[in-house]
Chains A and B, each alone.
Chain A
Amino acid sequence: MAVFELIFDFCLEVLLILLYGMSYGFNVGQPTRGDILGATGFPRIVIVIAFVLIAYQIVVLLLKMRREKKNAQENTAADESHKGGYLRLLACIALLIAYVFLMNYIGYAFATMLFVFAFGKTIGYRNNLKLLIFTAAITIILVLVFGTVFSITLPRGKWFFRELSFYWY
């Protein structure tokens, strides 16, 4: 896990360097009188402090890794047992991304129905009938509450899905 944390910290450092570099591209123009920090001052100060603190964290982490090298074997065994959990997690994230993407094409209601069933199954819900009833019920409730009662313009999708959505919300 420490290796992944190290990678995460390095990614943060790279991101900070990029953001700092990009701040030179801001179209600053004529400075406001008295505004000594300007549009770039505050974020640059924040970046520098964050960069130093993360660098310190990396050093601390490297020293810790060196100390705990002996336990590496145990950690690998523990990581193996979590493999299934990580796969399920990745599948769930992929489903969420697909849900957001699909909303634009098939509309909120249909995308929600597909998502609820697939998400429930992925996490491990076994009873298909109950899941189907839940899928229908939660979709109807959400569309009624948010689309009708609260008048939130939910995504309608494209093509005939769009026309169909006007009958719902």
Chain B
Amino acid sequence: MDFFLSLLSQVFTPLNLLLVVAGSAWGLVAGSLPGVSSSMAVILLLPFTYRLGIMPSIVMMIAVYVGGSAGGSVSAILMKTPGTPEAVATTFDGYPLAMQGKSGEALGLAITASSFGSIFSGICMMIFAPVLSAAALKFQSGEYFALALLGLSCVSSIGSKHQGKAIISALLGLLVACVGIDPITGVERWTFNQSALVSGVEYIPVIIGSFALAELFTRIRRFNPEATSAEATKVSLKLLKFKELFKMWFTFVRSAVIGTVIGIMPAAGGTIASLVGYGAAVKSDKNPERFGTGAYEGIIAPEASNNAAVGGSMVPTLTLGIPGSATSAVIMTVLTIQGLTPGPLLIRNQPELLYGIFISIVLASLLLFIVGRFITKQFARVLKLPYPLLATTISLLGVVGAFALRGSIFDLKVMLVFGVVGYLFNLFGYSSPAFVLALILGKLAETGLRQQTVIGHGSFAGLFTRPVSCVIIIVAVLVFVSPFIKPMLQKLKKRGENA
């Protein structure tokens, strides 16, 4: 008890509270700008940590991380341009909601779900961190492959209007993911002698192109300059009533659990967490066709998952010295600058630091809820712009977002190409979300599968003899085939009733 009281007194100082408010606000703003990731937002604050002590530095960094993870949803909802890769899945339902004039609800839900996700993971980590870090080490290539498969399994539902085309889109995404150096043999695949393609196709320019630009192209084609500006509607951040939120409690909890568990796995991170969380929400819903058209659960699931991954990713970072994500790698650097070495000894010698971090996650998330309301409201004003100016803003943010990644004009070309491809996909009923989902998970799937065959001396049996991977694969297959089987079962049921 004394330990926790002294810990609370270390975390809840006026300076720390100020740093948490400033950090989460900074993270939120940076996260909502395409091309500025939460890791970049953390890096930019690095010089401030030299003069601050250990706890204030960590508290501030964690607040930026939490704010950054939530911030990506703002531009994803308002402009169909995910501010961070973690917010890709939020665009699927967030943007359609904004188009229905419900951007306030969508932003409110995103902030609520983000806060819930990180509070949940912070509390979970306080209780289970040492046990979970040991379990995370047992995850091998087979489990990673199974996880990627689970993420991919929802493609048949994302494009439920044209399931066949959604699967084709996903296959094309898998192919694009194969471009670059093969991770196992080092062979170059489809690089066309372009050095920028050696490390593969960066998915941020692809996402900006196929989501933001493609949507822009579609709306520009339909836009009528003669019509008065109907877009300039009033935008206000709305929170759903507690009763309505409580109806979706299971989505909140399940997504937070998924995010926490995936966050713990080294290098998995919030992007995969949000996609798997979204997939799980789609599959467990009675009417999966609602998703992609503006379902509330379609925002809750990815946002709760990606923010829950924040707490999860700090576990391997602190307990094993293996960063769970790019941002936690930067936070690990902060610890090193402060003269600390993350790893098992850190936990043994300075347990208050570990618990201090998890308390700051909870604190930052609570404050995010308040700060987020104010900041997102300011961002939402962008929708009041007349469409030609809004379209120009979106294209400018898309261009700078794609360029900022590596400072490469090549990435801008990639963005333009996939902008046109995405437009054609929309026009002919193919699924850009399925394409992007496969692009992100493709490398993980291929590497996991092939590494497992190398470990198994050429056999795939290892995927099924390892209990965790076997269970995940079975679930993934069931999830994938269910949209095809469901109508058949319903037909059979009707026939039976008629007979």
Chain A residues close to B by CB (< 8 Å)? 1, 4-5, 8-9, 12, 19, 22-23, 26-29, 31-40, 42-43, 46-47, 49-50, 53-54, 56-57, 82, 85-86, 88-89, 92-93, 96-97, 99-100, 103-104, 112, 115-116, 119-120, 123-126, 131, 134, 138, 142, 145-146, 149-155
Per the bound structure, the CA–CA distance linking A2 and B391 in Å amounts to: 28
Excluding A119-B392, A120-B392, 4 further A-B contacts by CB distance (< 8 Å) are: A26-B189, A39-B187, A57-B164, A85-B220
- If over half of B's interface residues share one DSSP class (helix, strand or loop), that class is named, otherwise mixed; here it is helix
Question: Which of B33, B174, B189 has a CB less than 8 Å from the CB of A39?
Answer: B189
| Known interface pairs A38-B185, A119-B392, A151-B44; A146-B404 also in contact (CB < 8 Å) | yes
Residues of A contacting B187 in the complex (Cβ-Cβ under 8 angstroms): 26-29, 39
Question: Which of A33, A35, A100, A146 has a CB less than 8 Å from the CB of B416?
Answer: A100
A15 to chain B, nearest CB (A): 9
Scoring A12, A100, A149 by chain B CB atoms within 10 A of each residue's CB, the highest score goes to A100
Residues of B contacting A1 in the complex (Cβ-Cβ under 8 angstroms): 427
A5 to chain B, nearest CB (A): 4
Per the bound structure, the CA–CA distance linking A124 and B222 in Å amounts to: 12
Q: Is B351 an interface residue (CB 8 A)?
A: no
Residues of B contacting A100 in the complex (Cβ-Cβ under 8 angstroms): 399, 409, 412-413, 416
Residues of B contacting A103 in the complex (Cβ-Cβ under 8 angstroms): 409, 412
Nearest A residue to B400 via CB reads A146
Per the bound structure, the CA–CA distance linking A12 and B455 in Å amounts to: 36
B274 to chain A, nearest CB (A): 24
Residues of B contacting A5 in the complex (Cβ-Cβ under 8 angstroms): 427-428
Q: Is B386 an interface residue (CB 8 A)?
A: yes
**Which of B4-12, B260-268, B316-324, B446-454 interfaces with chain A?**
B446-454
**Which of B60-68, B84-92, B165-173 interfaces with chain A?**
B165-173
Is there contact, CB below 8 Å, between A23 and B189? Answer: yes
Chain B residues close to A by CB (< 8 Å)? 30, 33, 35-36, 40, 44, 164-165, 167-168, 171-172, 174-175, 178, 182, 184-185, 187-190, 213, 216-217, 220-223, 225, 386-389, 391-393, 395-396, 399-400, 403-404, 407, 409, 412-413, 416, 419-420, 424, 427-428, 446, 449-450, 453-458
| Known interface pairs A42-B178, A92-B217, A150-B44; A99-B458 also in contact (CB < 8 Å) | no
Question: Which of A9, A50, A155 has a CB less than 8 Å from the CB of B175?
Answer: A50
B301 to chain A, nearest CB (A): 27
A33 to chain B, nearest CB (A): 7
B483 to chain A, nearest CB (A): 15
Per the bound structure, the CA–CA distance linking A57 and B223 in Å amounts to: 31
Is there contact, CB below 8 Å, between B424 and A8? Answer: yes
Is there contact, CB below 8 Å, between A152 and B35? Answer: yes
| Known interface pairs A42-B449, A103-B409, A152-B404; A35-B223 also in contact (CB < 8 Å) | no
Is there contact, CB below 8 Å, between A134 and B389? Answer: yes
Is there contact, CB below 8 Å, between B171 and A35? Answer: no
A88 to chain B, nearest CB (A): 6
Is there contact, CB below 8 Å, between B449 and A120? Answer: no
Residues of B contacting A138 in the complex (Cβ-Cβ under 8 angstroms): 392-393, 396
Per the bound structure, the CA–CA distance linking A138 and B388 in Å amounts to: 14
Is there contact, CB below 8 Å, between A53 and B167? Answer: yes
Residues of B contacting A49 in the complex (Cβ-Cβ under 8 angstroms): 171
| Known interface pairs A35-B450, A142-B400, A150-B44; A43-B175 also in contact (CB < 8 Å) | yes
Residues of B contacting A50 in the complex (Cβ-Cβ under 8 angstroms): 168, 171-172, 175
A100 to chain B, nearest CB (A): 5
Per the bound structure, the CA–CA distance linking A125 and B184 in Å amounts to: 53
Question: Which of A12, A47, A96, A153 has a CB less than 8 Å from the CB of B395?
Answer: A96
3 closest A-B pairs by beta carbon, nearest first, are: A124-B225, A125-B388, A123-B388
Residues of B contacting A37 in the complex (Cβ-Cβ under 8 angstroms): 449-450, 453
Is there contact, CB below 8 Å, between A27 and B164? Answer: no
| Known interface pairs A42-B449, A53-B171, A123-B220; A33-B185 also in contact (CB < 8 Å) | no
Per the bound structure, the CA–CA distance linking A33 and B459 in Å amounts to: 11
Nearest B residue to A125 via CB reads B388
| Known interface pairs A86-B221, A97-B416, A152-B404; A39-B184 also in contact (CB < 8 Å) | yes
B385 to chain A, nearest CB (A): 9
Residues of B contacting A104 in the complex (Cβ-Cβ under 8 angstroms): 409
B479 to chain A, nearest CB (A): 18
Residues of B contacting A89 in the complex (Cβ-Cβ under 8 angstroms): 217, 220-221
B414 to chain A, nearest CB (A): 11
Nearest B residue to A112 via CB reads B396
Nearest A residue to B447 via CB reads A42
B248 to chain A, nearest CB (A): 35
Is there contact, CB below 8 Å, between A36 and B168? Answer: no
Per the bound structure, the CA–CA distance linking A5 and B424 in Å amounts to: 9
Residues of A contacting B453 in the complex (Cβ-Cβ under 8 angstroms): 34-37
Scoring A5, A92, A126 by chain B CB atoms within 10 A of each residue's CB, the highest score goes to A92
Residues of A contacting B223 in the complex (Cβ-Cβ under 8 angstroms): 85, 88, 123-124
Scoring B36, B167, B222, B412 by chain A CB atoms within 10 A of each residue's CB, the highest score goes to B412
Per the bound structure, the CA–CA distance linking A119 and B223 in Å amounts to: 14
Per the bound structure, the CA–CA distance linking A23 and B187 in Å amounts to: 11
Per the bound structure, the CA–CA distance linking A9 and B162 in Å amounts to: 15
Residues of A contacting B182 in the complex (Cβ-Cβ under 8 angstroms): 39
Nearest B residue to A116 via CB reads B392
Per the bound structure, the CA–CA distance linking A155 and B399 in Å amounts to: 12
Per the bound structure, the CA–CA distance linking A131 and B386 in Å amounts to: 11
Residues of A contacting B213 in the complex (Cβ-Cβ under 8 angstroms): 96
